[in-house]
Amino acid sequence: MAHKFEIYKDKAGEFRVRFKYNSETMFSTEGYASKASAQNAIDSIKKNGPNAPVDDTTD
């Protein structure tokens, strides 16, 4: 699979989510106290992301 979400623990012991495409990290989230909260972030991105507008501020 070319793209995936990955839940990992950072050095501070918080759970974070990163989205990878072809092994390159495209973005990562803030830290969460629980793994369930990190999973909720993934679910929210999957649910709300497809309809998110693009805000082009290059003008």
Q: What domains can you pick out in the chain, each with its CATH number?
A: 3-49 (3.30.160.160)
56-to-3, 4, 26, 45, 59 alpha-carbon distances in Å:
24, 25, 18, 20, 7
Per-residue pLDDT of the chain (59 residues; tens, 9 = 90+): 689 999 999 999 999 999 999 989 999 999 999 999 999 999 999 999 988 999 999 98
